[in-house]
Structure 1
Amino acid sequence: MRPPDPVMQALIEQSFIPVDITLGTPDNVTAHCGPHSLEKCTDCDVDYTTLNRISKTLHMNPGLRCPPPPNVVSQKLSAAISNTKEEGNALFKAGQHEKALQRYTMAANIAAQRPPWEASQLMREELSTILSNRSAAYYELGDYVSALTDAESVITLKRPWSKGHFRKARALMKLEKYQEAKDAIQLGLSFEVGNSEMTQMLSDIDVVMRRLQSRPERRLKRDTAPPPLPLSA
């Protein structure tokens, strides 16, 4: 092996900060903060969650001496995710929204099992599409709170994608949160200017809001009413 560059070595040593850790189960392969024995500790400002996930995976697969490069993707896992999602899509198109919901949930669970060394963007792309479809299934089932929750998760995973903002606005409309729906659709349009579906929704929201403003007594009743209870999934 070539000897390390002395300048780079000096920079590494200069920036090195020792951390007090303890080793935890299973078999002392997980890291925790020394003072509190926590995997994620705000007092010590450390978070070993990702590191420990990799460590546990390697521990459970002793034949895997080191993680493969990020461009190596599990094709079997990709096929399972894609096939399960497509099964959900077929059920959704057939109007079987409850069964579609179950397939989307299974597809999301499989996608979340990708090993930590694979590119995180791949899992984000898969999950954003699956959760967008699941939001649509919740919407068709009348569970607008869950539809909103999934739409917000889509936005967290893939903020520039207008579909997440569209799903969010639709759910908010059903929950009678018209100003929030308008804000959501306007943000979506900022990422995809001229989208006809969202432009029409913005127009529909404006019509509803103008109608409510012309009837102040009804508006006051809406504003003071308790929020709707979440429906069963």
Structure 2
Amino acid sequence: MSHSHSHAPGEEHSHSHAQEAPQSPVLPAPDPALQALIDEDFQPVALSLSDDRHNVYCGAHRLEKCDACDVDYVGLNRLSSLLAVNPNLLCPPPANVVTQKVSQVVKATKDEGNSLFKSSLHTAAINRYTAAASIAVSRPPWEANQLMRDELSTVISNRSAAFYEAQDYVSALADAEAVISMRRNWSKGHFRKAKALLGMRKLRDAAEAVKLGLSFEPANAELVTFLAEIEKFEKKLQDEKYEARVQEKLIAA
């Protein structure tokens, strides 16, 4: 009796057989002791549903995030809304499935900011970087978090540079700290922090920021050069202070 073959040269034979129905996995019985602990710890919470029944709120105040009720449903509601507008999604896709349109819009908005920055239109550049950051954090919650962090840290790093050029050193420092919190081993965040601190005339703090960056990337040319500039500037200030003291003594004499 002959069998039907469907394979290319060099491939294994694939004989046609009736397809077996997939079997449902057999779930293990819950551990009674663990289940008892869960039941003991469970506290019922009063909920209120939206009219479309997609979102939940606290029962007492109908708020997504309520300090009085100690609940926060913002993330849950966002996931629920995304699934509701995509009815074909029976469940969230794998984390490695990326929404390319979001990446494209983030990049395009960031590039607009870069063009404005190069034209010394720093306030306008800050606005575009802020818009790009808002888009970056709007990714669906099931996507890989690292992608959002990489996009966001790059945009915020650029915004820190724009704040620095606008002489808003406090905002530049805040953005640099945010970059470091997202990508601690990335040299650019430490460079941005050092620049902001230098603008605030905190030379020793700026040098320490560079040294921390160099602990992650010892051969980073940008950090090595900037540390030398800081030390040169610090020496110049020390020399100026020394000359001023000498002048004061000569005048007093």
Matches within 5 A, 1:50-129: 50-59=75-84, 61-62=86-87, 64-129=89-154
Structure 2 equivalent of residue 201 of structure 1: 226
Distance 1:23 1:76 in 2: 35
Whether 1:13 aligns to 2:35 is: yes
Larger relative contact order, structure 1 or 2 (CA cutoff 8 Å, min sep 6) = 1
Bigger radius of gyration among the two: 2
- Equivalent position amino acid for 1:18 in 2: F
Whether 1:162 aligns to 2:150 is: no
Contact 1:132–1:154 (Cα < 8 Å) also in 2:
yes
Structure 2 segments unaligned to the other structure (5+ residues): 1-23, 245-253
Match of 1:30 among 51, 56, 67: 56
Q: CA deviation at 1:196?
A: 2.0
Number of aligned positions between the proteins: 216
Q: What secondary structure does 2:93 align onto? A: coil
Distance 1:47 1:102, change over 3 A: closer
> TM-score, normalised to structure 2's length?
0.71
Structure 1 equivalent of residue 26 of structure 2: 3
Contact 2:116–2:122 (Cα < 8 Å) also in 1:
yes
Q: CA deviation at 1:129?
A: 0.6
- Equivalent position amino acid for 1:20 in 2: P
Distance 2:149 2:156 in 1: 10
Q: CA deviation at 1:112?
A: 1.3
Distance 1:10 1:81, change over 3 A: farther
Instruction: Work out the percentage of aligned pairs sharing the same amino acid.
Output: 47
| Structure 1 segments of 4+ aligned residues over 6 angstroms from their partners | none
Structure 2 equivalent of residue 151 of structure 1: 176
